[in-house]
Structure 1
Amino acid sequence: MPTSAEQAADWLLSGLELRSTLFHVGRYCGAYRASTAGHQRASFHLVLEGTCWLHLPAKEGRAAQSTRLVAGDAVFLMHDMAHCLTPDPNAPSDDEYAVRIGAMMPLDTLDGSHDGIALACGFFEFRSDLGEAITGLLPDHILARHDDTKLAGARTLFDLIRVEAARAQDAPSPLINRLTDALFFYALRAVASADDFAPGLWSVMRRSEFTPLVSAIIEKPGDDWTTHTMAAFCHMSRARFCKQFAQVCGQPPAQFLALLRMKVAAEMLRHGASTLSTAEHVGYQSESAFAQAFKRVTGLPPGTCRREPAGVAQTPVH
């Protein structure tokens, strides 16, 4: 049973089977506008050498952003979204984001003697059943800064990525994919420990009035966790509990409860438990009702989760 917000967050993330796929490694010089948008996939950019600017256009609830990136920084875009990397601190106009400029050249070396920017770019996905449900609670992009003290261990990973990128020019090393997976989880850890991150998953985990509730649900998911009982557990009125929980989490408590229960259920199924015993453990009297709830949250029937092998082959990207 988790005893802290960070442990609860680790538990929730433990079933995410991240799979990164390297798209290209190379160098831009002069004027360029690079992007992985338009592929209908989440993506990442690792700055191997040099500096650039990440531009994000304005969207509902967020102003346009321009962020300087330097060697050692990484950005993970949680879904296909308009963005671009340029050498210019001034953002392009909205209709220019989709227009690429410049061509990526071979990396050659990573010794600091070249101009421009050296990048490793690619795509990632969560192959587990709860991927979409959990990432829906996260911000639309996550920055991993090279000088973030919470990412001290990730600097070793980044150095290994640079070595792998420089040693295989014709066929980028597949090890970069796995190193990127680990780097991304370091970035998630940093998000989890940010005091000012709200609203979202980590806010619920870190709020003292809600953390005991999350831990209690994880320990006994089959208990009668109605909105009333959850509110009583937190020593709040039902109205106050629903309002504060939704403000912090971005979704109602019943939806969050379903996510936690299906996370427990997915782990049980992967370890060979029957659908009936799993349903009863997470609070469902009917196997069919559980199956419907599981598919509604995860997008998959329970049997698929149980049959899924531990390692899923990747689909290569040119």
Structure 2
Amino acid sequence: MDSLSSILKSVRLQGSVYFNACFASPWGLDLDQNQRAYFHLIIRGACYLQLGDKKEQLQGGDIIILPHGTAHQLFDDPSSVRVNATGVVPGLIDGINPFEGVGHSQDIDILCGYFNFNNSTPSYFLNALPDVIHLTQEHRTHFSFLDNALSFITQETKMKNLGREILIDRVTELLFVQIMRVYININGNEENIFSALSDRTLSEALQLMHTESDKNWTVESLAKAIGMSRSRFSEHFHNYIGETPMRYLHTCRMEVAKQKIEETESTLNIISEEVGYASDSAFKKAFKKFFGNTPSTFRQKNDK
């Protein structure tokens, strides 16, 4: 498994589409801060995105992703009234469109959806993403795999075929992976976690931490596994990831442990071994310090 696949598997990505609708001017949506990531695809037409005091125009073919669910507004014109989305989206999902035929000046076809992540443990990858990612028709043209995913999801939301819902969910999750591939490709020139995924040595180290977190890794053994000196690896890793290798590995182990507690009936002493702890007591202490609850308490809460 490559490093990006390992990271995205650990965040346990889910996604789906809220609606695919045509709005007639005037229209405006006010979207609150959300635990889910938003995405908006402008299929046809143009509109504005406002994020705080920053405003930018969106054109047909553009896709906007707000990885942290940041509050924002979408509207056809700065003078248009913006309606809170919580009172509009449920109707749109059911086919009730308050902006259908309201005016006559401009129509826009827009598809809105979400990505959901497991946010119980820190994700250095997700945390490093900006408040907004704006990919244009030019990006879609250059990266055909992204255009294919966007075209497919646009068409599927218009159909009433059997299995439509599950297919839309899966293609939406695929869409996030495709977006991340493009974002990494166009933002890989600086020292950050995105360029680390394209760096042979760091990518290999990240892959080992995510897929073999049970091993008794040290900075020295990780460095040796990827063919670097201990000091060079530590410096290189910290410069790109913004964290020490051992702290990053600790986060990986805690995420794996949490997932095993949630999804399996394995005993805690077995789980402690599976995430690289030599003793049950050391694992319980580390888990409680990380999550604020003991593994037993966490399992009891999860079973309710």
Structure having the higher helix fraction is 2
What is the aligned counterpart of 1:77 among 66, 70, 73?
66
Instruction: Work out whether residues 40 and 80 of structure 1, in 8 Å CA contact, stay in contact via their aligned partners in 2.
Output: yes
Tell me what 1:100 maps to: 82
Per-residue CA distance 1:64-95 (angstroms, 9 max, x = gap) = 573x433343222112324333446xxx7xxx
Q: Percent identity?
A: 25
Residue 32 of structure 1 and its aligned partner are, at CA, apart by 4.2
What is the aligned counterpart of 1:163 among 129, 147, 155?
155
**2:82 is aligned with what amino acid?**
R
What is the aligned counterpart of 1:287 among 273, 280, 285?
280
**2:243 is aligned with what amino acid?**
Q
What is the aligned counterpart of 2:115 among 99, 121, 124?
124
Q: Does 1:52 align with 2:43?
A: no
Matches within 5 A, 1:136-155: 136-146=127-137, 147-148=139-140, 151-155=143-147
Tell me what 1:312 maps to: none
What is the aligned counterpart of 1:17 among 9, 12, 17?
12
* Inter-partner Cα distance in structure 1 for 2:17 and 2:205: 40
Per-residue CA distance 1:165-203 (angstroms, 9 max, x = gap) = 4457xxx96754443232222212323444526554333
* Inter-partner Cα distance in structure 2 for 1:8 and 1:194: 18
* Inter-partner Cα distance in structure 1 for 2:36 and 2:187: 29
**1:235 is aligned with what amino acid?**
M
**1:289 is aligned with what amino acid?**
A
Instruction: Work out whether residues 213 and 275 of structure 2, in 8 Å CA contact, stay in contact via their aligned partners in 1.
Output: yes
What is the aligned counterpart of 1:208 among 200, 203, 224?
200
* Inter-partner Cα distance in structure 2 for 1:105 and 1:257: 49
Residue 272 of structure 1 and its aligned partner are, at CA, apart by 5.8
Where do 5+ consecutive residues of structure 2 fail to align? 89-96
Go from structure 1 to structure 2 and tell me whether the alpha carbon gap of 1:258 and 1:134 turns closer, same or farther (over 3 Å shift). Answer: farther
Per-residue CA distance 1:243-286 (angstroms, 9 max, x = gap) = 44233113332322123334554666646654323322432122
TM-score, normalisation: structure 2: 0.68
Matches within 5 A, 1:154-233: 154-167=146-159, 176-194=168-186, 196=188, 198=190, 200-218=192-210, 220-227=212-219, 230=222
Go from structure 1 to structure 2 and tell me whether the alpha carbon gap of 1:200 and 1:140 turns closer, same or farther (over 3 Å shift). Answer: farther
Q: Does 1:38 align with 2:29?
A: no
Per-residue CA distance 1:134-183 (angstroms, 9 max, x = gap) = 52243433344444357523434433433344457xxx967544432322
* Inter-partner Cα distance in structure 2 for 1:188 and 1:298: 28
* Inter-partner Cα distance in structure 1 for 2:253 and 2:115: 26
Instruction: Work out whether residues 142 and 187 of structure 1, in 8 Å CA contact, stay in contact via their aligned partners in 2.
Output: no
* Inter-partner Cα distance in structure 2 for 1:41 and 1:219: 26
Residue 132 of structure 1 and its aligned partner are, at CA, apart by 5.2
Tell me what 2:268 maps to: 275
Q: Which moved more, 1:154-163 or 1:69-78?
A: 154-163
Matched residue SS, 1:277: helix
Tell me what 2:239 maps to: 247
**2:199 is aligned with what amino acid?**
R
* Inter-partner Cα distance in structure 2 for 1:211 and 1:34: 40
* Inter-partner Cα distance in structure 1 for 2:4 and 2:128: 12
Count of equivalent residues: 282
Tell me what 2:21 maps to: 26
* Inter-partner Cα distance in structure 1 for 2:194 and 2:287: 23
